[in-house]
């Protein structure tokens, strides 16, 4: 498989259309990438301050072609965090948008020592204020791209809506896989609640739509299933567990419309994707994550590290595959480290496996509390509240014997507290329910648990 960053420089097929309706062919995109790549020294460290635009895409691809190493960052990153990252990692270049489009700034900084396999740096999920980065290799990118193309059946006729952030591995994987197949990317910085988003989808005949669980909750409120979107063929979801009820609803609707709806599972530490549920199995398995991607393998381990082989038992989910990344970096010297994971990733997720070999995520290893001697899963609590009180969003955090629940409908606080005490058969003093205007989320729609934990007594 030719690396996706080596574009077909002789192709007049459309590679990118942005939300200003500007189109670039593969030939034009390759020319822009080659011109920038020529100015980048091999193994340079480059901060790419990106949005979903052709300019940001050119910077990302040029780094890979020049064997420079980009750190993908949101262009709206807080100045103090950007400054902290600059002080820690001392990049040689910054690729960012200026008054006349994207431009390269030379910081006159010598390149750090870097492992030769290092291709890309991604900030860990929810890493506001943290310098912790995931180190991804060229082989990681190629392997995961190949696997995703395989199970999604991506071909050159696809026109993928790329609205998830480019600095987020889910969003980046959409870009990688479709470029690899010579398909068309529809790049936009707008979202579903903005009218221009749906104009763009319809005008350019998007064939696929992707989102995290929060995205699909918003789409449900927007009555997405009643929209006339005849070009859509594939829907995908990753970035967390979808409510089984919504999973069932979307699966039934997609089947009725002749669409494919893929529920998927992944992490930055696995480049992007580790598991998926084939659409034909979704109707009978709501809430199930599925099976490992082509070329990957799952296993379950108990608290002693012994493998669990019996169906129905819960353990930590372990993933094996070529897309398992090299490890983390928390300082400049870490960029010289080699492969620390050796193809094995302990995900930190607790899961079970059924008789058919399909896995279900039941919660995070660290998202459990002991409450008056009872083991309580915070993810399960959130699920209970959202199903019993559909008008509110909910996040549960806390510490042993003290569960703090945040909801967006403050009027329901006492009712939620009573419901949890009764349902969990725990004394009401174990729960504190607080109204909050909005649940804090990062640009990819993931809940920022640490911000909420800071609000706890």
At 275-287, the pLDDT tens digits run: 999 999 999 999 9
Whether the Cβ atoms of residue 388 and residue 417 lie closer than 8 Å to each other: no
pLDDT for position 451: 87
If pLDDT is split at 50, 70 and 90, which confidence band does 431 have? very high
In the beta sheet, which residues pair with residue 234?
208, 260
Q: For the beta carbon of residue 319, count every other beta carbon within 10 angstroms.
A: 25
| pLDDT cut 70: percent of the chain above it | 98
Among 173-177, 320-324, 363-367, the range scoring the smallest mean pLDDT is: 363-367
Give yes or no for a contact between 200 and 19, defined as CB atoms under 8 angstroms apart.
yes
d(CA 178, CA 430): 49
Q: Nearest to residue 339, comparing CAs of 323, 327, 321, 322?
A: 327
SS3 379: helix
Classify domain 18-112 at the CATH topology level. Rossmann fold (3.40.50)
* DSSP 8-state assignment for residue 447: B
pLDDT at 238: 94
User: pLDDT grade, residue 130 (50/70/90)?
Assistant: low
**Distance from C-alpha of 250 to C-alpha of 267, rounded to nearest angstrom:** 23
pLDDT higher than 70, residue 290: yes
Q: What percent of the chain has pLDDT over 90?
A: 80
Residues 168-192 have a mean pLDDT of: 97
Residue 129 has pLDDT above 60, yes or no: no
Q: How many CB atoms lie within 10 A of CB 216?
A: 26
18-112 and 137-360 agree in CATH topology:
yes
Question: Domain coordinates of the chain in residue numbers?
Answer: 18-112, 137-360, 367-453
**pLDDT at residue 92, rounded to an integer:** 98
What is this structure's pTM?
0.88
Between CA 409 and CA 383 the distance in angstroms is 16
- What integer pLDDT is reported at residue 125 of this predicted model? 54
Q: How far is CA 415 from CA 28, 146, 317, 405, 423, in A?
A: 59, 49, 35, 12, 12
Average of pLDDT values for 319-335? Answer: 97
Distance between CA 28 and CA 132 in Å, rounded?
A: 35
Q: How far apart are CA 456 and CA 436, in angstroms?
A: 12
What does the pLDDT look like over 28-57, one tens digit per residue? 999 999 999 999 999 999 999 999 999 999
DSSP state of 178: H
CATH class of 137-360: alpha beta
The tokens of 225 are what?
A: 């299933």
Domain at 367-453, CATH from 2.40.110.10, 3.20.20.70, 3.30.300.30, 3.40.50.1100 = 3.30.300.30
Contact 370, 400 (CB under 8 A): yes
120 conformational bin, left if phi > 0, alpha if psi -120 to 50, beta if neither: beta
């Amino acid at each position: 498989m030719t690396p996706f960053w080596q574009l077909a420089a002789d192709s007049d097929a459309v590679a990118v259309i942005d939300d200003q309706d500007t189109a670039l062919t593969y030939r034009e995109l390759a020319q822009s990438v080659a011109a920038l790549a020529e100015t980048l020294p091999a193994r340079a460290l480059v901060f790419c301050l990106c949005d979903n635009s052709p300019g940001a895409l050119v910077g990302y691809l040029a780094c890979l072609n020049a064997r420079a190493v980009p750190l993908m960052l949101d262009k709206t990153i807080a100045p103090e965090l950007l400054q902290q990252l600059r002080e820690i990692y001392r990049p040689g270049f910054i690729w960012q948008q200026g008054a006349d489009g994207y431009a390269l700034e030379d910081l006159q900084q010598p390149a750090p020592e870097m492992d030769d396999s290092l291709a890309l740096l991604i900030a860990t999920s929810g890493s506001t204020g943290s310098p912790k980065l995931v180190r991804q290799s060229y082989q990681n990118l190629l392997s995961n791209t190949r696997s995703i193309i395989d199970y999604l059946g991506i071909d050159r006729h696809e026109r993928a809506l790329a609205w998830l952030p480019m600095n987020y591995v889910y969003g980046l994987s959409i870009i990688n896989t479709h470029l690899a197949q010579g398909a068309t990317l529809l790049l936009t910085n707008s979202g579903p609640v903005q009218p221009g988003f749906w104009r763009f989808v319809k005008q350019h005949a998007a064939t696929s739509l992707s989102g995290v669980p929060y995205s699909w909750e918003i789409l449900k409120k927007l009555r997405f299933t009643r929209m006339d979107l005849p070009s859509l063929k594939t829907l995908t979801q990753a970035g967390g567990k979808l409510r089984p009820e919504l999973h069932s609803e979307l699966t039934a609707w997609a089947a009725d419309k002749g669409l494919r709806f893929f529920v998927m599972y992944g992490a930055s530490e696995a480049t992007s994707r580790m598991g998926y549920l084939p659409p034909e199995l979704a109707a009978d398995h709501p809430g199930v994550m599925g099976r490992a991607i082509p070329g990957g393998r799952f296993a379950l381990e108990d608290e002693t590290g012994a493998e669990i082989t019996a169906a129905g038992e819960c353990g930590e989910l372990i993933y094996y595959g070529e897309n398992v990344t090299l490890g983390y970096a928390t300082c400049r010297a870490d960029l010289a480290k080699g492969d620390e994971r050796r193809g094995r990733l302990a995900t930190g997720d607790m899961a079970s496996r059924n008789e058919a070999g399909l896995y279900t995520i039941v919660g995070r290893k660290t998202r459990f509390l002991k409450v008056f001697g009872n083991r309580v899963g915070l993810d399960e609590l959130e699920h209970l509240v959202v199903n019993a009180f559909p008008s509110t969003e909910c996040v549960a955090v806390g510490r042993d014997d003290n569960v703090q629940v945040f909801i967006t409908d403050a009027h329901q606080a006492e009712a939620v507290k009573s419901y949890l005490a009764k349902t969990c058969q725990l004394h009401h003093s174990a729960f504190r329910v607080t109204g909050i205007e909005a649940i804090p989320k990062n640009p990819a729609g993931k809940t920022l648990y640490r911000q909420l934990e800071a609000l706890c007594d």
